[in-house]
Structures are given as structure tokens and as C-alpha cells.
Amino acid sequence: MEEKTSSFFSFKNIFKKIAKFFFYFFVISIASTILLRFVPIFFTPLMAIRFFEQVFSSEKNLKFEKEWISSKSISPHIKNAVICSEDQNFKTHFGFDFEAIEKAIKYNSKHQKIRGASTISQQTAKNVFLWNGRNWIRKSLETYFTILIEIFWTKEKILEVYLNIIEFGDGIYGIEKASQIYFKKSANKLSKNESALLAAILPNPRRWNLHHPTKYILKRKNHILQQMAYNNF
């Protein structure tokens, strides 16, 4: 009888600790999401990972280029270019493009190369709060944080954060630094052509170099320009 009672209280204590953990997790995550709607994000987990990769690599130079700017200081051309390139239903979906997900599942079932279907909202949630990876824990957390930013942030805010923290090359973060490095100008002065070229490297910004764009990147740029024209951007 004493053993059963002891076992019951032990289970009850474990349950209380788990419940307490999730309570604090929800409170902190929601509070953080609300706070980050109003303050600039200067550093993310991905930036930390990339920084330590550089520190412990003999082949990479230590480089960290980043400058936060407000949405009104970002050219509408680059906003439209990344929407056309990464997530054409960004303005209408609630964080997830189920049509794109369905197409990606069908494609991946027939091809070895994996095609993703992450929206700008999902990419933003991942880059702000999480780390790279494909395991179910990270994907579950990505889903959770995507819902949070869709609830507590505006679409304009999500796009502002996305363009300020995304990689545009090794050690280059955010549209302002990318504009300065690649085109010697501020992000508010980017042309349609320059914006499309920047958006063209986003699937793998550390692989492709805008100073020497390949035929593939130029083809992507032209396709993005066509999509911008089609969508009246």
C-alpha cells in the first residue's frame, strides 16, 4: 500500500513539473513574440551557429555584417521580389501554404532532391527562434512559432524581420548590408533588377556569389522579374 501511494505521489510530482515547464514555455514564448514585434532583432540562433562555424574553421574568415532598418527604409521592390521568389501567397495565408505543401509532397515522392514548401512566415519563425534541422521536434516548434507571429505580428512586420535577419552570403545578414556590399547603396534605393537578383540567391545564399552570378542565378532573376510583372508589382 505504501509503495502504491509513493508511486502515485511520484507520478503526480512528475506531472506537476511537466505542466510547470509547459506553462513557463508558453508564457515566455508568447511574451517574447509580443516583445519582438516592437524591438529590433540584432542576433539570432542561426547567426550564433554561423559565427562559431567561422571561429572553428581554418578555411573561413571571421565576418559578421548586419544593420537593422525599419520597413519604411526597405525598397518595395525587394519586398515584392522575395514574395514572388519565396512565397507568392504570403499576404493571404495564415503562415502555411497548404497548396505548396501538397505539391512539394508529390514532387518529393518522385524525386531524390527534396523540395521545400516553407513560407516566409515559417522561415522567419525558424530564423528568429530556432535552429536549422529537419527533425520533428524542430518542425513542431517552427509550426508553433509560426502561428505565434501570425497572431501577434502584422504581415508587414514579418516581412521586415525576414529581410533584416536572412542570410545574403557568408557572414552577411539583412537587406541593408547586402545592398551596401553588393550594390554600394542603401536598401531603400534598390531597383527591380537588383531586388530580383538578391532574391534569386535566397535558396542558398552562401553558395552563390552576386559579384559573379551564374547562368542559373540570372535565369532565376529573370523568372522573378516575370512573376513581379505578372503580379503587377
- What pLDDT, on the 0 to 100 scale, is given for residue 119? 95
> What CA–CA distance (Å, rounded) separates 122 from 16?
32
> What CA–CA distance (Å, rounded) separates 131 from 153?
21
Give 5 or 15, the one with higher predicted confidence. 15
- What pLDDT, on the 0 to 100 scale, is given for residue 45? 92
> What CA–CA distance (Å, rounded) separates 196 from 174?
15
> What CA–CA distance (Å, rounded) separates 172 from 157?
21
Most trustworthy range by pLDDT among 62-66, 96-100, 147-151: 147-151
Least confident of 4-8, 27-31, 115-119: 4-8
Burial category of 41 from C-beta neighbours within 10 Å (exposed 0-12, middle 13-18, buried 19 and up)? middle
Q: What is the pLDDT of residues 152-199, one digit of tens each?
A: 999 999 999 999 999 998 899 999 999 999 999 999 999 999 999 999
- What pLDDT, on the 0 to 100 scale, is given for residue 144? 97
Would you say residue 113 has pLDDT above 60?
yes
- What pLDDT, on the 0 to 100 scale, is given for residue 7? 57
CA 201, distance to chain mean position in Å, is 14
> What CA–CA distance (Å, rounded) separates 153 from 96?
15
- What pLDDT, on the 0 to 100 scale, is given for residue 6? 56
pLDDT band (50, 70, 90) for residue 4: low
pLDDT band (50, 70, 90) for residue 3: low
- What pLDDT, on the 0 to 100 scale, is given for residue 87? 93
Q: How far apart are the first and last CA of the chain?
A: 74
Which residue in 191, 163, 168, 187 sits closest to 176, CA to CA? 187
